[in-house]
Structure 1
Amino acid sequence: MKLLPFFFTFFWLLNVNSQEIAILKYNGGGDWYANPTALPNLIRFCNENIDTEIEPRPQTVEVGNSEIFQFPFLHMTGHGNVFFTQDEANNLRTYLLSGGFLHIDDNYGMEPYLRKEIIKVFPEKKLVEIAADHPIFKSRYEFPQGLPKIHEHDGKRPQALGIFHENRLLLLFTYESDLGDGWEDPEVHNDSEEVRLKALQMGANIIDYAFKN
C-alpha cells in the first residue's frame, strides 16, 4: 500500500499534458449533476478563446475511483449535502498532491457540508481566502477585485477560498458567486451577456491556471 501514492504520481506524470475535465460525482444526496449545460459552455468558450483543446463533453468520475487520475481538472458543484468516506477523501488527497486540481463551485447550500468533508481530505490545512492579486484572477482575463458576483443569494460578498500545498493552489472553492449558473445556457437563468461573459472569463482563468500550475 505504501507504493500507491508513488504509482498514482507516476500515472499522473504520464497524463500531465492532457487537457481534460471531469465532473466529480459524490455521495450524500447533493445534486452533483446540477447545471448540465455549464461545463460544455465553458469548455467551448475556452477552446475558442484561450487555445485549449478540451473534449467538448466532460466525463463523470466518482470521487473514490482511480479514474480521477486521468484528469488534470475536476469540477464539483451542487446545492446540498456532501459526504466523503475516508477512503474517498484519501483518494482525493493523493490526486491533489500528485498534481491534480479541484474546482468546487457552490451552487447554493453546499458550503457547510463541504467544509466538514474537506477536513477529511486535508486535516492539517485550512481553507484560506485567495487574495485579489493572485495569478488566477489575471491569467487570461483581469479581475482586479477578485472573484466576480454572478448570482445573488444571501447578500454576501463572493469569496474564492483555497487549499495550498508548497505554494500551489490545488483546491479552489468559489462561494457566493455561482459561476456555474453564469456558464449555463442563456435561457436557463436569463443572465445578461455581460454577466455571462464575466462568469465565462473567470472560468477560463481557473482552467488556464490549473493547466499551467
Structure 2
Amino acid sequence: MKHLAFISLCMLSSVLFSQNIAVLKYQGGGDWYGNPTALPNLIKFCNNNIKTKINLKPETVEAGSPDIFQYPFIHMTGHGNVFFNEDDATNLRNYLVSGGFLHIDDNYGMKPYITEELKKVFPNTELVEIPANHKIFNTAYSFPDGLPKIHEHDGKRPQAMGIFFETRLVLLFTFESDLGDGWEDQVVHNDTEDVREKALKMGANIIKYAFEN
C-alpha cells in the first residue's frame, strides 16, 4: 500500500506541475505510432480551450516501463496486434489503480487483440459500455448521446467501453468512432471542420476527466 501511495503522489505532482502526456508503445507488431499528428493537435486544442498546460510534444512510454507513472494520461492506438507480457500487464495495472488513465482508441482492427490482452491486466474485470450520462461525456463539452461517430468502418455504432476500479473509470476503449483520425491534421483524412471539432471536444472531455478524477 505504501508503494501505491507513493505512486499516486508522483502522479498528482505530474498533474499539478508538468502535465506531460504520452503515447503507449506496446509489443505485438501493431502500429502503436499511428496518427502522428493526432495527439499534438488535441494538446493544442485543450491548452487553448480548457486551460490545460500540457507540453506540446507528447512523449512515448513502453507498457512495462516505470516511467509510465509520470503521466496522468496515456493514449494508445493502432490497427493490429497487441501483446502484453506479464511485466507489462502488472505495470499497467499498478499504474491504473494508483491514479493513471489509459485511453485506447481503435484505429480499426484492434478490438480482438486488445480485449484479450486486457484480461491479463484485469483478469476478473470485463469491459463494460459507458452510459451516455457518464461524466466523461459532459465534463467540458456536452455529448448527450455519448461517443460521437467520426469515421465509418463497418457500419456499427460507436461504443465507449471502460474498466472501472472501485468507482473510478481508469480505462476507456473507444470503438467504431476513430477519434484519433478526427484529431489529425485536416489534410490527412479531409474531415470537415464540424467532424474535427466533435472529435477534439470529445478528446478534451477525456483529458479533463483523466486529470480531475
**TM-score normalised per structure 1:** 0.96
1:124 CA displacement: 1.2
Scaled by the length of structure 2, the TM-score of the pair is 0.96
Query: What is the match of residue 7 of structure 2?
Result: 8
What corresponds to 2:160 in structure 1?
A: 160
Q: Residue in 2 aligned with 1:171?
A: 171
| 1:88 aligned residue | 88
Contact 2:14/2:20 (<8 A) preserved: no
Percent pairwise identity: 68
Shift of 1:5: 3.9
Aligned partner of residue 206 in structure 2, secondary structure: helix
> 1-side partners of 2:205 and 2:11: how far apart?
22
C-alpha RMSD over aligned residues: 1.3
Once residues 98 and 16 of structure 1 are traced to their aligned partners in structure 2, the CA distance between those partners, rounded to angstroms, is 13
In structure 1, what is the equivalent of residue 77 of structure 2? 77
The 5-angstrom pairing of residues 54-203 of structure 1 reads 54-203=54-203
Residue 6 of structure 1, CA deviation? 4.8
2:68 counterpart letter in structure 1? I
Preserved contact between residue 136 and residue 209 of structure 2 (Cα < 8 Å): yes
Count, aligned residues: 212
Q: Distance in 2 between matches of 1:81 and 1:43?
A: 27
Alpha-carbon displacement from aligned partner over 1:45-86 (angstroms, at most 9, x marks no partner): 000000000000000000000000000000000000000001
- Distance in 2 between residues matched to 1:74 and 1:99, nearest whole Å: 12
Gaps of 5+ in 1: none
Aligned partner of residue 103 in structure 2, secondary structure: strand
Structure 2 equivalent of residue 209 of structure 1: 209
Letter in 2 for 1:61: V
Q: CA–CA distance in 1 between the matches of 2:15 and 2:46?
A: 18
**Which moves more between the two structures, 2-11 or 199-208?**
2-11
Instruction: Assess, with a 3 A threshold, how the Cα gap between structure 1 residues 97 and 27 changes in structure 2: closer, same or farther.
Output: same
Per-residue displacement from partner, 1:133-169 (whole Å, max 9, x unpaired)?
A: 0010011111000000000000100000000011100
